[in-house]
Chain A
Amino acid sequence: MQMTRTLCSLAALAALAGCAGSSSSGGQGDAALRAKALEVMKASFKARGIATLDRLDQDETQALCSQYAASGPPKDVAQRIEQANLVAIKPPSDGRYLGDWKRGEQIAQRGTGLQWNDTKETPVGANCYACHQLTKEEISYGTIGPSLYNFGKIRGYTPDMEKYAWGKVWNADAYAACSLMPRFGHNGILTEAQIKDVVALLMDPQSPVNK
């Protein structure tokens, strides 16, 4: 494998394709191939509305998680990603983690926002139900993430748990490197107030999540 990678990184573009077989089993380890792919992508997408081309500029977490996508990041890389994301979590400015679970439910249902067919005025949702079960009432839920039904009831309505739920919604990569879940606070998808509402949906004893 090391040999293959070395050969590939030395190779000219015409020979890049020879790596097709090896890269599918490993971690897409070849820097020249990655650079070429990015160059082709930048020439193949165009800015439309709010979706500008800089969305193709990866931060370190995105770059590493792309590089190691097929195999998962090595332990030291995973720790580095988690640490960098953990220290970037911003706690609520007034120290209170819980907002209104009813508004949280609306945010969890909403799938719009930040697409090129949305505008700056389009309400931005978290679309939690796309990937998670949350309540018994909503049967149209996805399974990419685990069920969050009874999230607070099972874990306990403690300040530590509120803080954890906040961190997880703010930046999931802080707890699981290369999580499939968007970093809702870190990347500015949701506002602080919206994250409070989502945390309330998970942690308020009155929320249907905990019934």
Chain B
Amino acid sequence: MFSTRVAIAALAAVCAPMVLGQNTVDEIEKYRQALQDGNPAELWEARGEALWKQPRGPKKVSFERCDLGLGAGVVKGAYAQLPRYFADADRVMDLETRLVHCMVTQQGLTPEEAKRNPFGSPERKSDIEALVAYVTSESKGVKMSVPMRHAKEREAYALGEQMFYFRGGPHDFSCATCHGEDGKRIRLQDLPNLTKVAGAQRAYTTWPAYRVSQGELRTFQWRLYDCFRQQRFPELEFTSEASIALTSFLAKNADGAAYNAPAIKR
């Protein structure tokens, strides 16, 4: 936390008197690197680990019986193989959807209760964001390997690809509008090219992330939700089928890369 503040102060000091141009881009890159030193995401990871082990809900059951795909309670490496097909639900699920599933089927919450606060604020922290931080941190360094053995996994991928290229709304935007070419940016923000393996790998393996500008840890569900807001689409529903399909498409395209999150971003 402290080092983050120092980095922001340092950036302000560097930028203020500067003649702008290529230097600006270089300095912003320095700022981004300075951010890597000390990631507040650790606070979410610690809270998530406690939540994982704590008996919860009307049935007073912890997540230690929750199967994320590698067996009941197995967290290590699980995120690197999500989304995937779960026979007990007969559908493809990403991590957030699976957590909600366990809250409902094992802990006894209603779906509405389980999905009540997916994106937190300083006043109202999200349990889901903390749980996601913990589970994803346990895949750090693990190679992405999203299964495509089941027909529904392959269908989710194919549908996600369609959605990636779907242009709509008053601005004609699709995901590909901003994420379809190399070396582009919005204002000064670099944009990953998600249609190429290298870009998809670098982007997908660095979510979730602690967002300095928001002071919160944000999940991949949030990333999609807020992209669609800026695309001028209606609101993407948390853990909806489209969100899982798009996540399948992007996660699979990141196969082979070492997972490296929770990360920290501006």
Contact = CB atoms under 8 A, between A and B. Distances in A.
Interface residues of A, number: 57
A200 to B, nearest CB: 22
Interface of B: 20-21, 24, 148, 151-159, 161-163, 165-174, 176-178, 180-181, 183-189, 191, 195, 228-230, 232-237, 240-243, 245
A36 B242 CA distance: 11
A208 interface: no
Chain A CB within 10 Å, residue with most, of B153, B183, B230: B230
Given A40-B242, A61-B172, A182-B170, A51 B234 contact: yes
A93 interface: no
A16 B161 CA distance: 12
B186 A131 contact: yes
Nearest to B157: A20
B171 A114 contact: yes
A114 B232 contact: yes
25 contacts: A17-B156, A17-B157, A19-B158, A23-B161, A28-B161, A34-B162, A37-B163, A43-B240, A44-B237, A44-B241, A46-B237, A48-B234, A55-B232, A56-B234, A58-B168, A65-B167, A66-B174, A116-B234, A139-B21, A142-B185, A143-B184, A182-B170, A182-B171, A187-B170, A189-B170
A46 B234 CA distance: 6
A82 to B, nearest CB: 14
A69 interface: yes
Nearest to B25: A139
Chain B interface, DSSP helix/strand/loop, else mixed: mixed
A19 to B, nearest CB: 6
Given A24-B161, A45-B233, A14 B171 contact: no
Contacts of A44: 236-237, 240-243
A14 B155 contact: yes
B234 A45 contact: yes
Given A44-B240, A53-B234, A116-B229, 5 more contacts: A41-B242, A45-B233, A58-B166, A69-B180, A144-B185
B232 A51 contact: yes
Given A40-B241, A43-B240, A130-B186, A17 B158 contact: yes
Contact of A62 (B167, B178, B187): B167
Given A44-B241, A45-B237, A143 B183 contact: yes
